[in-house]
Chains A and B, each alone.
Chain A
Amino acid sequence: MSTYLMRRLMYMILILLGASLLIFLLYAMMPGDFVTNNFKLPAERKAELREIYGLNKPVLERYMNWMNNAFHGNFGFSLSQQKPVLTLFNDYIWNSFLLAITSTFFTWLLAVVIGVVAAYKQYSWFDTMVMIFIFAAMSIPSFFIGLFLIKIMAVDLKWLPPGGMLVTGSNATGMEYIKEVVHHMFLPVVVMTLLGVGSLTRYFRSNMLDVIRQDFIRTARAKGMKERVVLYRHALRNAMLPAITLIGFELPGLFGGSLIIEKIFNWPGIGQLYMQSFTVRDYPLLMGFTMFIAILTVIGTLISDILYHVADPRVKL
């Protein structure tokens, strides 16, 4: 168990080091930076600022600096917002998390229920409808469905706000505040759920189909168990088992926000922050964000592995 974990951790750190170098080089390749791109500044002031921010040092030295700071828990300083990157993340991440956790909850709920029922009634009209729905959900261009729903629900029907998290200039508190946020969350959550539910439903459906054909399901029926018991105690448990690994893979999505959805719905999350910083080439923030997601991805994979080992009595670490 411990040697396995140690090996995994070592590999994780190596991959992250590789990722950090790659990310840094990618951003370093980008010509122009926050200072040079700013037309308002006079040339001398630019040179001065570049000196201050260390932008004129060789790439490798800048990378070493960046990594050194990162190891000390300092992911740099956002030039456009004049705040430490981590502070900014902390400001925006919880808004992203709110959207992500809500839509993830609905995605899983819908996927499990629809997937199980569709598998149980394979080849029925319900199953066919589900399959078509799954393909539709998997084929939607996210930005387009977002725009389309805003146009219909917000612009034309005026039922829901077109974007943001609160009404502009709102100072609602308590229940009023919650109501306002929920009102604004509705559309982005619908879109995010729609985008995720297709592949997950399909996953549960096919897992369930595999499990239903197993010998032990036949045994359960031969014992005279109720169909409900066969389905939920015997089949679903086995079908959920591999799904546990997915929980880890959800991690980057839960905390990393969604670049497209937050941008389209003008949601003040970390993805939207990234998109804003992208236009002004705020490298510390961009690199920090990309690295942050890479870290989440690696940790998520590790969690998935561990969860799988914990959940399945057959597998021992």
Chain B
Amino acid sequence: MSSITGGLADTKQTAASPIRSSLWRQAFRRLRKNKLAMAGLAFIVFMFLVCFFGPLFSPYANNKINPAIMNQAPSFKHWLGTDLLGRDVLTRLLQAGRISLTVGIASMIISVIIGSILGAVAAYYRGIVDQIIMRIADLLLTIPSLPILFILGALLSEWKVPVEYRMYIVMLMLSFVGWPGLARLVRSQMLTIREREYMQAAIVLGLNDRRKLFNHMIPNIVPLLIVISTLSIGGAILSESVLSFFGLGVMPPTPTWGNMIDAANNLIDFEQHPWLWIPPGVAIFTTVIAINIFGDGLRDVLDPKQKK
């Protein structure tokens, strides 16, 4: 019996997929027409390429400490100058970009997974499950996230977490404060879909739970999830930079854009060696703006509610 329904589901899937894929194709065609969004995407791709492959071509990738050339201003040899240990700032900036981008994306993935699963479960089962999940989410949304992050960051330091693991824990911390909002969004979206006519029709048709969930509800929130995920990468990169700037996130020697700006906490570096902290700030700003513009372009083509 189960094999029969399975087979039926499969034929349904193949029958529906051309329509679905053409909807996606239509969305991508419209996205390609959005010049601003495409520029954003191009910049994101560029940033990834230079951060992940750029250091391979840098003669200074070994981060060798060289007191002879410390704190040099930008020159042809060192495009963005050198830091107080004589390391090449540009190379470090790209290496930091790897970490910052990775932390941003990883924490987005974790919080989207937690948030959408919990949100979907809450919306689907309603009742007590919904109550428990949403009350926890409410609770976490009530407490300001920055102090929570600070405390967690301080805990890491007190517990002497090895520096190389900190970046993974920072990802988890950011997901911890990121999921409640996502769960709430997914839940409300699912509840709206439940009330739509086609869902009512699916119920009248007597489709089983799994079919309802996988053929009707999940596909309908995927576009929203893609949009939210993209936009939340930007937020995660910003949060990571704040934490690292205050010395509570990822710590040196692992470079991130945030902890590179930490140089500005030193009065002399702040006033006299701006090449140490301005480039990482500009890198954060440009990357996040590109992500936000691209995410907004995605929203225009994927989220029909926001379509103009």
The one of B148, B151, B152, B285 that contacts A144, using a Cβ cutoff of 8 Å = B285
The reply to whether the CB of A268 lies closer than 8 angstroms to some CB of chain B is no
The reply to whether the CB of B292 lies closer than 8 angstroms to some CB of chain A is yes
Interface contact A252-B261, CB-CB below 8 Å: no
A138 to B270, CA, bound (A): 25
Contacts of A252 in B (CB 8 A): 144
Q: A30-B155, A294-B144 are in contact. List 10 more A-B contacts (CB 8 A).
A: A15-B142, A19-B142, A26-B151, A29-B151, A31-B159, A128-B36, A147-B281, A151-B271, A151-B278, A260-B242
A278 to B141, CA, bound (A): 22
Q: Of residues 107 to 142 in A, which have CB atoms within 8 Å of B's CB atoms? A: 122, 128, 131-132, 135-136, 138-142
Instruction: Write the nearest CB–CB distance from A129 to chain B, whole angstroms.
Output: 12
Closest A-chain residue to B264, C-beta based? A147
A4 to B2, CA, bound (A): 48
Task: Output the residue of B138, B142, B274, B285 with the most chain A CB within 10 A.
Answer: B142
The A interface is mostly helix, strand or loop, or mixed, namely helix
A211 to B50, CA, bound (A): 44
Interface contact A139-B158, CB-CB below 8 Å: no
In the A-B complex, the 3 residue pairs with the smallest Cβ-Cβ separation, listed nearest first, are: A144-B281, A139-B289, A139-B288
The one of A122, A138, A256 that contacts B292, using a Cβ cutoff of 8 Å = A138
Task: Output the residue of A135, A144, A260, A278 with the most chain B CB within 10 A.
Answer: A144
A138 to B296, CA, bound (A): 12
Instruction: Write the nearest CB–CB distance from A283 to chain B, whole angstroms.
Output: 11
- Which bracket fits the contact residues of B? 35 or more
Instruction: Write the nearest CB–CB distance from A278 to chain B, whole angstroms.
Output: 6
| Chain B 136-176: CB-based contact to A (< 8 A → 1; otherwise 0) | 00110111101110111011001100000000000000000
Interface contact B144-A297, CB-CB below 8 Å: yes
Task: Output the residue of B154, B234, B274 with the most chain A CB within 10 A.
Answer: B154
Interface contact B158-A32, CB-CB below 8 Å: yes
The reply to whether the CB of A289 lies closer than 8 angstroms to some CB of chain B is yes
A136 to B291, CA, bound (A): 11
Interface contact A135-B281, CB-CB below 8 Å: no
The reply to whether the CB of A23 lies closer than 8 angstroms to some CB of chain B is yes
Interface contact A278-B292, CB-CB below 8 Å: no
Given A31-B159, A141-B281: A19 and B139 interface contact (C-beta under 8 Å): yes
A56 to B308, CA, bound (A): 62
Interface contact A144-B147, CB-CB below 8 Å: no
Given A19-B139, A22-B143: A143 and B261 interface contact (C-beta under 8 Å): yes
| Chain B 237-280: CB-based contact to A (< 8 A → 1; otherwise 0) | 01001100100000000000000010010000011001001100
A223 to B216, CA, bound (A): 44
Given A26-B151, A29-B155: A293 and B289 interface contact (C-beta under 8 Å): no
Instruction: Write the nearest CB–CB distance from B172 to chain A, whole angstroms.
Output: 15
Closest A-chain residue to B148, C-beta based? A26
Contacts of A206 in B (CB 8 A): 306
Interface contact A141-B296, CB-CB below 8 Å: no
The one of A31, A135, A141, A298 that contacts B241, using a Cβ cutoff of 8 Å = A141
Interface contact A274-B147, CB-CB below 8 Å: yes
Instruction: Write the nearest CB–CB distance from B131 to chain A, whole angstroms.
Output: 11
Contacts of B27 in A (CB 8 A): none
Q: Of residues 165 to 219 in B, which have CB atoms within 8 Å of A's CB atoms? A: none
Closest B-chain residue to A21, C-beta based? B139
Given A19-B139, A147-B281, A278-B154: A290 and B245 interface contact (C-beta under 8 Å): no
The reply to whether the CB of B80 lies closer than 8 angstroms to some CB of chain A is no
A-B contact pairs, 8 of them (CB 8 A): A15-B139, A31-B158, A135-B292, A138-B289, A259-B147, A260-B242, A290-B143, A294-B144
A289 to B151, CA, bound (A): 13
Instruction: Write the nearest CB–CB distance from A119 to chain B, whole angstroms.
Output: 10
Instruction: Write the nearest CB–CB distance from A66 to chain B, whole angstroms.
Output: 16
A140 to B155, CA, bound (A): 28
Closest A-chain residue to B280, C-beta based? A144
Interface contact A278-B270, CB-CB below 8 Å: no
A137 to B163, CA, bound (A): 33
The reply to whether the CB of B117 lies closer than 8 angstroms to some CB of chain A is no
A294 to B142, CA, bound (A): 5
A286 to B151, CA, bound (A): 10
The reply to whether the CB of B221 lies closer than 8 angstroms to some CB of chain A is no
The reply to whether the CB of A189 lies closer than 8 angstroms to some CB of chain B is no
Interface contact B242-A290, CB-CB below 8 Å: no
A240 to B22, CA, bound (A): 39
Contacts of A16 in B (CB 8 A): 142
Contacts of B150 in A (CB 8 A): 259, 278
The reply to whether the CB of A155 lies closer than 8 angstroms to some CB of chain B is yes
Closest B-chain residue to A258, C-beta based? B146
The reply to whether the CB of B293 lies closer than 8 angstroms to some CB of chain A is yes
Q: Of residues 249 to 272 in A, which have CB atoms within 8 Å of B's CB atoms? A: 252, 256, 259-260
| Chain B 276-308: CB-based contact to A (< 8 A → 1; otherwise 0) | 011001001100110111001000000000101
Instruction: Write the nearest CB–CB distance from A273 to chain B, whole angstroms.
Output: 13
Interface contact A298-B142, CB-CB below 8 Å: yes
The reply to whether the CB of A235 lies closer than 8 angstroms to some CB of chain B is no
Closest A-chain residue to B152, C-beta based? A26
A32 to B158, CA, bound (A): 8
Instruction: Write the nearest CB–CB distance from B105 to chain A, whole angstroms.
Output: 16
